[in-house]
Amino acid sequence: MTERRARGGRPARGEPVLDRAFRLLGCFSPDRPTLSLAALSELAGLPKPTALRLARKLVELGALEQAESGDYTIGLRLLEIASLAPRGHGLRENALPYMEDLLHATGQHVLLSVREGVEAVLVERLSARGAHRVGYRVGGRMPLHSTGNGLILLAFAPKRVQEEVLAVDWSADEENLNGTGTELRARLAAVRRDRFAVSSRRKRGVSLTSVAAPVVDRRKNTIAAVSVITGSEQVAPATHIPAVIAVARAISRAAAL
């Protein structure tokens, strides 16, 4: 937690201010949406005076907001900037009409994700009122090896990314129902062959099933994945495969225009 501090509790000498600011922003999470100065200092591994100076500047810039209690939250300016990311905003705008069609056709959750490194980032989620409750949030990250969108993004990722994920022993991951090592490698080969994925995952004690398909650009490179998520007991996954594939193709055509 404090490995970035030099002796005496001071930040490592020469560390850029921008790095420290992003480290401060990185302390926030869905489980920690509000943080005190003391918590920010501890989590970021920064002395309180440094954390205070950075927090004040971030509040001034709109990247953080400060409540009357003195605690901090992420500011709306970051949302405004993040919405301009082309892999998020542009793709989302193209995908939304077709995601809405899929939502109405299935009455479940519809997710759109892109890959960043060895994780999937959720850029849009639509949920039907009666759909099984799930914990996924826009901007949240999901593992590649144990989710439907993740399997799509991993199967069509560069070889080095695939090998990095395949090199990990996922047997201790209680949420993972997709296997590890040789089994996972075989699943990825099947995804590339079939161009869709059916994946089950145990999340917070509930089994979820997703059907996912790739969204491609005009060069046929996979740029995203779209999926439908249901509670495993709700409906046979095969029921949704044609609709998910059709929507993925429609989004691909829209993105290529």
pLDDT given for residue 225 in this prediction: 97
pLDDT given for residue 103 in this prediction: 94
The answer to whether the CB of 126 falls within 8 A of the CB of 99 is yes
pLDDT given for residue 233 in this prediction: 61
Burial code (b: 16+ CB inside 10 Å, e: under 16) for 183-199 equals ebeebbeebeeebbbbb
Confidence of residue 7 (pLDDT cuts 50, 70, 90): very low
Q: Strand, coil or helix: what is 180?
A: coil
Burial code (b: 16+ CB inside 10 Å, e: under 16) for 211-225 equals bbbbbbeeeeebbbb
Integer Cα distance of 209 and 214 in angstroms: 17
pLDDT digits (tens, 9 = 90+) for 119-161: 999 999 998 887 777 767 788 888 888 889 999 999 999 999 9
Q: Which domains does the chain have, with CATH numbers?
A: 7-82 (1.10.10.10), 86-256 (3.30.450.40)
pLDDT digits (tens, 9 = 90+) for 191-230: 999 999 998 876 666 678 889 999 999 889 999 999 998 8
Integer Cα distance of 104 and 94 in angstroms: 17
Listed range (20-34, 72-86, 206-220) with the worst mean pLDDT: 72-86
Confidence of residue 9 (pLDDT cuts 50, 70, 90): very low
Integer Cα distance of 115 and 58 in angstroms: 28
Does residue 178 surpass a pLDDT of 70?
Answer: no
Average pLDDT value for residue range 83-110: 84
Integer Cα distance of 21 and 30 in angstroms: 19
Q: Average per-residue pLDDT in the chain?
A: 84
Q: Which long-range contacts (CB under 8 A, 24 or more apart) does 166-175 make?
A: 170/145, 170/146, 173/143, 173/145, 173/146, 174/202, 175/143, 175/146, 175/201, 175/202, 175/203
What is this structure's pTM?
A: 0.71
pLDDT given for residue 41 in this prediction: 93
To the nearest 10 degrees (0 to 180), the angle between helices 17-25 and 48-61 is: 80
Which regions of the chain does DSSP assign to beta strands (E)?
Answer: 64-66, 72-74, 109-116, 119-127, 141-143, 197-203, 206-216, 222-231
List, in order, residues 6 or more apart from 132 with CB less than 8 Å away: 108, 109, 206, 208, 229, 230, 231, 234
pLDDT given for residue 65 in this prediction: 92
